[in-house]
């Protein structure tokens, strides 16, 4: 086993070409083995194995800085940089992160999880290096999906003007999570498949390698330059960035050779490599969408497993049905078709579906344009990724009170993806925006009622739901809902728990066998049900609010502000996430630690003088 001899990147420098090829295979096997037990970003990491081996062969991490965009494809990088003994803990409770993370290793140049940040970060590092008179390489590694993000494209614009010594590697597998989209993606697809590019590459390489590698490399570079000239419409040419490629991203000797050739070039260079997502593992090559991020599986007999009926599926079913009745409904996703439950919708209503690529800001403002011209856009977006559209929500949608429905998925702590993916800030940043309304359904039926009502009401409305399973609602059923009214689920004689969203299940658990404790489905946060709140306070009930969101600025804050406006001071406790980031791990454990679960609710009630069983 070669991997036994490799603990740090410098151990690659002495390996022969055969040993490096063997190492790549061993890395692949280890990634498959660990993803089979833990789940994880299998297909992306398999596709980046040769690239990562070549990078650590040619460059000197941690002196040289390797920045992985999104960071989900970096499993081989983690194994090669001193973490092979703990790689089996990836994404697990107390284990290493599933993305690169600065605090985890000196070899992890950036902490990531959101796409499209690597190039701007790399530019910053290159400028710092040059300003401080230091000397090391900065390499940004970005996928074709991440390159659809505005941040990445804008960074190229600055890089091409400033022209620092910087290497960018476009890992082009034509996939985001779904098939990749966008004009740039289409251009490269044509460009790569241009017959003459492929033929010249293949023929040229065979003939010239027979003569002399030195001659080959000279001609190889001449051909690159010629191609660039021939392809003046090549967008990188316009950006003032030297473009090299496309080259085979699985040809390890070829990658090492070309990286050595371009490593010392001055100015910004983009190396375009073509890879296969899922490379080396049949099922993942055939279906890189499912195997982008599978749960655990049997490595000998890998099969797709259903993860149950989720909130995303409930949303997808509802919006697919609604679109039959509402011809102006139009659904937008920023590159999360599968994650947002939109596969069926996209097949049923392709003419009213748009995948913008990984650009949530663009998606939000496209929705604004649609609303301005008579459509009823529904933007399906994860809470965490909606952070990328904050200004657009204010500037392009809320000021004019445009009718955009935000189907906010993954609201709350999400588990394996950790701090970069938790959806725990959206209430705070949405509720301060005038005209925006915020609701959280308790089940799939209430989701349908809210979606339908939101489309009727108009204005910017966010309907948020967690990364969780939910009971399927019957087709064709569209209940009415009294907008802005909370729902008493359980009467209480002394206290009420006001639960917003996912914590409702904890509230019901806490109130079980306690006739003195009532439970309210506080499903509307903006507008808050001030009438019910006032009545509860005036009647002297003790109150506890709960939410799977930062305590600061969340649902509880809204309740306290309302009570203050009403001039009421009931005995109240606000339970929410503390002012820290939650890493990857078990959601129930993090909820327990955060103090928002049933035990925490009972402890709060006990602290207010109620006789409750505190052990649940
Ligand atoms: C992990 C995660 O959240 C991923 S990985 C991924 C596809 C990236 O495609 P790319 O071509 O860059 O890489 P590839 O998988 O190797 O093909 C998306 C859209 N996401 C979700 C997502 C959405 N939006 C933003 C801003 N960031 C992320 N990370
Ligand atoms: Mg890709």
Ligand 1 and 115: CB distance under 6 A: yes
Instruction: Report CA(113)–ligand 2 centroid distance (Å).
Output: 14
Ligand 1 and 501: CB distance under 6 A: no
> Probe ligand 1: pick from 69, 358, 381, max atoms within 8 Å of CB?
358
Quickly tell me which residue has 């309302």 as its tokens: 562
Please give the structure tokens belonging to residue 567: 């001039």
Please give the structure tokens belonging to residue 308: 């149950």
Give the C-alpha distances (Å, rounded to integers) separating 493 from 168, 532, 556: 65, 15, 22
The residue among 616 and 563 whose pLDDT is bigger is 563
Beta strand 461-464 with 405-409 is parallel
Helix, strand, coil tally for the chain in percent (to 5): 45, 15, 40
471: exposed, middle or buried (Cβ count in 10 Å: 0-12, 13-18, 19+): exposed
- Tens of pLDDT, residue by residue over 162-216, are 999 999 999 999 999 999 999 999 888 877 655 445 555 555 555 545 555 555 4
Q: Is the pLDDT of residue 291 over 70?
A: yes
The minimum-distance atom of ligand 1 relative to the CA of 421 is 3
- CA-nearest residue for atom 1, ligand 1, is 72
Q: Is-contact 20 57, C-beta < 8 A?
A: yes
Instruction: Report CA(142)–ligand 1 centroid distance (Å).
Output: 10
Predicted confidence at residue 206, as pLDDT, reads 55
- Tens of pLDDT, residue by residue over 377-413, are 999 999 999 999 999 999 999 999 999 999 999 999 9
Ligand 1 and 177: CB distance under 6 A: yes
- The pTM score is 0.93
Q: What is the rounded distance in angstroms from the CA atom of residue 187 to the CA atom of residue 42?
A: 27
Ligand 1 and 414: CB distance under 6 A: no
Q: Is the pLDDT of residue 146 over 60?
A: yes
360 is catalytic: yes
Mean residue pLDDT of the chain comes to 94
| Crossing angle (nearest 10°) for helices 252-262 and 49-58 | 40
- Residues 326, 327, 333: CA angle, nearest 5 degrees: 90
Contacts of 267 (CB under 8 A, 6+ apart): 163, 164, 165, 166, 242
Q: What is the rounded distance in angstroms from the CA atom of residue 388 to the CA atom of residue 385?
A: 6
Q: Is the pLDDT of residue 331 over 90?
A: yes
Q: Is the pLDDT of residue 235 over 60?
A: yes
Predicted confidence at residue 217, as pLDDT, reads 53
Instruction: Report CA(178)–ligand 1 centroid distance (Å).
Output: 10
b/e code 279-311 from CB counts within 10 Å (16+ = b): bbbebbbeebbbbbbbeebeeeebeeeeeebbb
Quickly tell me which residue has 């339970």 as its tokens: 575
Predicted confidence at residue 208, as pLDDT, reads 47
Tell me the H-state helices in 170-232.
183-193, 195-211, 213-230
Question: DSSP 3-state assignment of 243?
Answer: strand
390: exposed, middle or buried (Cβ count in 10 Å: 0-12, 13-18, 19+): middle
The residue among 196 and 253 whose pLDDT is bigger is 253
- Tens of pLDDT, residue by residue over 341-369, are 999 999 999 999 999 999 999 999 999 99
101 is catalytic: no
Q: Average the pLDDT over 108-113 and give the result.
A: 98
Predicted confidence at residue 196, as pLDDT, reads 46
Ligand 1 and 466: CB distance under 6 A: no
Ligand 1 and 144: CB distance under 6 A: yes
The minimum-distance atom of ligand 1 relative to the CA of 339 is 21
ipTM exceeding cut-off 0.90 for this assembly:
yes
Give the C-alpha distances (Å, rounded to integers) separating 597 from 406, 436, 494, 545: 27, 28, 20, 11
Neighbours of 134 (CB within 10 A): 9
- Tens of pLDDT, residue by residue over 262-271, are 999 999 999 9
Phi, psi (degrees; rounded to nearest 5) at 232: -60, -20
């Amino acid at each position: 086993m070669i991997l036994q001899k490799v603990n740090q990147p410098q151990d690659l420098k002495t390996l022969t070409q055969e040993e490096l090829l063997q190492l790549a295979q061993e890395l692949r096997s280890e990634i498959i083995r660990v993803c089979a037990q833990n789940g994880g970003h299998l297909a992306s990491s398999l596709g980046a194995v040769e690239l990562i081996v070549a990078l650590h062969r040619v460059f000197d991490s941690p002196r040289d800085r390797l920045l992985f965009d999104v960071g989900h494809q970096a499993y081989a990088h983690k194994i090669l940089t001193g973490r092979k003994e703990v790689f089996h803990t990836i994404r697990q409770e107390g284990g290493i992160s599933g993305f690169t993370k600065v605090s985890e290793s000196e070899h992890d140049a950036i902490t990531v999880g959101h796409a499209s940040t690597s190039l701007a970060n790399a530019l910053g590092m290159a400028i710092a290096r040059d300003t401080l008179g230091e000397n090391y390489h900065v390499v940004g590694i970005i996928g074709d999906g991440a390159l659809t993000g505005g941040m990445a494209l804008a960074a190229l614009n600055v890089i091409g003007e400033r022209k620092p010594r910087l290497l960018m590697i476009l890992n082009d597998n034509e996939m985001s999570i779904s098939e990749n989209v966008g004009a740039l993606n289409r251009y490269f697809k044509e460009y790569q498949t241009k017959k003459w590019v492929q033929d010249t590459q293949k023929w040229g390489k065979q003939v010239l390698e027979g003569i002399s590698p030195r001659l080959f490399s000279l001609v190889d570079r001449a051909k690159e330059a010629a191609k660039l000239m021939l392809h003046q419409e090549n967008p990188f040419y316009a950006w003032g960035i030297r473009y090299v490629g496309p080259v085979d991203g699985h040809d390890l000797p070829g990658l090492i050779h070309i990286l050595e050739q371009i490593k010392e070039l001055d100015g910004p260079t983009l190396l375009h490599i073509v890879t296969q997502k899922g490379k080396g593992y049949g099922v993942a090559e055939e279906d890189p969408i499912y195997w982008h991020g599978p749960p655990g599986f049997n490595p000998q007999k890998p099969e797709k497993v259903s993860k149950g009926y989720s909130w995303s599926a409930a949303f997808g079913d509802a919006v697919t049905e609604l679109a039959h009745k509402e011809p102006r409904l139009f659904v937008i996703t920023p590159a999360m078709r599968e994650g947002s439950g939109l596969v069926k919708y996209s097949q049923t209503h392709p003419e009213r579906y748009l995948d913008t690529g990984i650009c949530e800001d663009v998606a939000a403002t496209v929705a604004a344009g649609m609303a301005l011209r008579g459509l009823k856009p529904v933007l399906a977006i994860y809470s965490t990724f909606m952070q990328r559209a904050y200004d657009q929500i204010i500037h392009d949608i809320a000021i004019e009170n445009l009718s955009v429905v935000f189907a906010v998925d993954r609201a709350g702590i999400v588990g394996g993806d950790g701090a970069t993916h938790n959806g725990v800030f959206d209430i705070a940043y949405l509720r301060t925006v005038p005209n925006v309304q915020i609701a959280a359904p308790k089940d799939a039926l209430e989701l349908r009622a809210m979606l339908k009502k939101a489309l009727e009401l108009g204005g910017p409305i966010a309907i948020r739901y967690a990364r969780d399973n939910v009971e399927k609602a019957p087709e064709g059923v569209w209940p009415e809902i009294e907008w802005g009214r909370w729902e008493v689920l359980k009467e209480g004689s002394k206290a009420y728990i006001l639960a917003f969203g996912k914590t409702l299940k904890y509230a019901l658990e806490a109130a079980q066998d306690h006739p003195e404790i009532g439970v309210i489905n506080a499903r509307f946060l903006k507008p808050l049900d001030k009438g019910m709140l006032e009545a509860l306070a005036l009647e002297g009930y003790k109150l506890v609010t709960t939410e799977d969101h930062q305590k600061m600025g969340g649902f509880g804050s809204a309740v306290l502000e309302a009570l203050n406006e009403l001039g009421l001071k009931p005995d109240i406790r606000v339970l929410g996430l503390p002012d820290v980031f939650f890493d990857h791990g078990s959601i129930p454990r993090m909820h327990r630690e955060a103090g928002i679960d049933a035990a925490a609710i009972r402890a709060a009630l006990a602290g207010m003088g109620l006789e409750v069983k505190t052990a649940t």
